[in-house]
A and B are shown apart, each in its own frame.
Chain A
Amino acid sequence: MSSPAPTRSKGAFAARVLANRSLGLDHYRLRLGVAGFPRSQPGQFINVRCGVAGQEGPQPLEWPEGGLPRPTGPELAGVQPLLRRPFSLAGRVDKDDGTVELDIIHHVVGVGTARLAELGVGAEVSVIGPLGRGFTVVADRPVAALVGGGVGVPPLLYLAETLQDAGVRAVAFAGARTARALPLRIDPSEPPSQAGWPTLCTAEFAARHTPTVVATDDGSLGVTGFVDKALLPWLDSPNVRAGEVAVYACGPAPMIKAVADIAAARAMPCQLALERHMACGMGTCQGCAVKVKAAGDTGWAFQLVCKDGPVFDANDLYWE
């Protein structure tokens, strides 16, 4: 690789909304254009300010004659999220003009994500990133199992791209509560296998040459049940050699634990992207603590998901 120009590892940027598309059942794909965004890795995240664009500070109140002022300041204009919201990168494209196109996929769960869902093309959004420590491609493992639950799927799209470039053969396992809550587009000509065989059934993973198994809790699409269970038939099939596989996962805590146990039982390297509520996203507030194994009386120490993670080696985490 040619020696890169010295750049900041992270920064604060004014991003421009390039596209904002609904993915069904309150999931959205937001594409942001950012000039000069630093190099990033899959698993890293951006911290996004979700308030109303163009309304950054309090404005003086105008007193109309014979009437009352109409408050418009950020504290009075309605419910505004105070803190930024962290989103893992779902993909990145570097344009010739130096603009970087970043994708995030989010699920509307509160006032911050609701604001993001309303953004129109051309709106300005304040973004800090890239933040955290991402996935590391395990060099001596030519096969990758990518396991994602709900909004844990997006960082695996970015990872699938990187693995493809590295010559690693990837298979994705994407789970959701129900078919419409899966943040992926299903190819109507190739529905997901109900028996759990990987096919090019989702547009996003297919574009990265990654066959995919879909699992839904209610059985409305693909395998019925949790995604970690859907991993087993493939993992234990005769044409998969355990010594060649590395596992990369992101999703809700119970899924993460189940995947870690599955990988540990087969002595497979396993990297997990964790989720935590954060205030600053860069190691200052110390809000997003997680226990990791450590020497000493307790056997554990705290690290920070935002700075030391969000991706951790499953062997390093201290499970209670």
Chain B
Amino acid sequence: MTHDEVNLSVDIAGVKLANPLMTCSGTCGYATEYADIVDLRQLGAFVTKSITAGPRVGNDYPRVVETRAGMLNAIGLANVGLEAFLDEKVPLLESLGVPVFVNVAGREIADYVAVAERLDEVDVVRGIELNISCPNVKAGGIQFGTDGAMAGEITAAVKAACRRNILIVKLSPNVTDIAAIAAAVVEAGADALSLVNTFTAMAIDIETRRPILANRTGGLSGPAIRPIAVHMVDRVYRQVARDAGVPIIGMGGIQYAHDAIEFLLAGATAVAVGTALFVDARCLIEIRDGIADYLRRHGHASITEIIGALDRE
């Protein structure tokens, strides 16, 4: 192995990332929680927990349950709301020194637009990640993400509110044809795609014969979903994103450098880590360094050489 410098920087619709490592929304809070464990300034970009116009208390308990090689969550978009986010959390994010993307959720299109307009005036925020794929709230969220026409409509509306920020649309895997939804939001002006969100799932307490989660269902994440997520990135890259020139942020069960490299080869320009942060947030650094080792071992000078480099013959 040589120790030549390799270039890990990537470009997400004009936002320069020092490396492709990002956090998945909702798994890294507002960046202060892990400060004693890992230096988040080493990240390529930071993605916040979902923000809604007003505060949300979230779902009743139990909210999480571990399953084999994964976990279900039904937090219910618990968050401090836009105003408290601007007052209390933005100053913390400013000290990070990396691009921040804010995940935005809502009930009506007007909610999303109002939040996106305010965030367009915040310097540290470089992009909106549109959450049209949360499986754990009764109204809003996923209803926009499972219908191509509605997904396109909300994308266009929020895009109009993003004069400075880029617009990333986070897609739900709970659809028959994820490429069709991807095509609809790209057509409507999405600058980048995040895929995938969690899979709607259920765990049952066989003694009480009730669902374990208070919300009955939750979103499955973790290593269990990774092969499906890789497949969906490959499919959206081939059928939509490559030709449209729209970057993909790949996520779903990434825990080791090996996993991240699968997503990059399948067509992701950046990768985000979620559930693995709950296990050990230091994995962000190990994954970044592992990708650099892989590039050296295969004689690449830049990470861009392996994006979408899957042998498709």
Residues on A lying within 8 angstroms of B by beta carbon are: 8-12, 49, 57-58, 75, 79-84, 126, 128, 276-280, 282-290, 301-302
Contacts and interface: CB of A to CB of B under 8 A. Distances in A.
A302 B214 CA distance: 14
B37 A285 contact: no
Interface centre among B26, B64, B78, B275 (most CB of A within 10 A): B64
B70 interface: yes
Given A11-B37, A75-B69, A82-B69, A287 B64 contact: yes
Given A10-B36, A12-B280, A287 B75 contact: yes
Given A49-B279, A277-B62, A301-B57, A79 B68 contact: yes
A286 B76 CA distance: 10
B278 A284 contact: yes
A138 to B, nearest CB: 28
B33 interface: yes
Given A82-B69, A290-B61, A279 B278 contact: yes
Contacts of B57: 301-302
A85 B28 CA distance: 19
Interface in B27-47: 27-29, 33-34, 36-37
Report the 6 A-B pairs with minimum CB-CB distance, sorted nearest first: A287-B64, A280-B278, A279-B278, A284-B29, A284-B33, A287-B63
B81 interface: no
Contacts of A79: 68
A11 B63 CA distance: 25
A83 B72 CA distance: 12
Interface string B86-104: 0000000000000000000
A289 B215 CA distance: 13
A82 B70 contact: yes
Contact of B71 (A10, A49, A279, A301): A279
Contacts, number: 95
21 contacts: A12-B280, A57-B258, A75-B223, A79-B68, A82-B70, A83-B66, A83-B71, A128-B280, A280-B277, A282-B37, A284-B28, A284-B29, A284-B33, A285-B73, A285-B278, A287-B75, A288-B63, A288-B64, A289-B60, A290-B61, A301-B57
A286 B37 contact: no
A11 B278 CA distance: 14
Contact of A289 (B63, B69, B70): B63
A239 B78 CA distance: 49
A82 B73 contact: no
Chain B binding surface, main DSSP class: loop
Given A12-B282, A83-B278, A285 B64 contact: yes
A11 B251 CA distance: 26
A22 B64 CA distance: 30
Q: How large is the interface on B (under 10, 10 to 19, 20 to 34, 35 or more residues)?
A: 35 or more
Contact of B78 (A128, A282, A286): A286
A287 B73 contact: yes
A12 B37 contact: yes
B65 interface: yes
Contacts of B279: 49, 82-84
A82 B222 contact: yes
B211 interface: no
B299 interface: no
Contacts of A12: 37, 280, 282
B245 interface: no
A58 B258 contact: yes
Contact of B280 (A10, A126, A288): A126
Contact of A279 (B36, B73, B282): B73
A81 B68 CA distance: 7
A278 B257 CA distance: 25
Nearest to B65: A277
Contacts of B65: 277
Interface in B264-313: 275, 277-280, 282
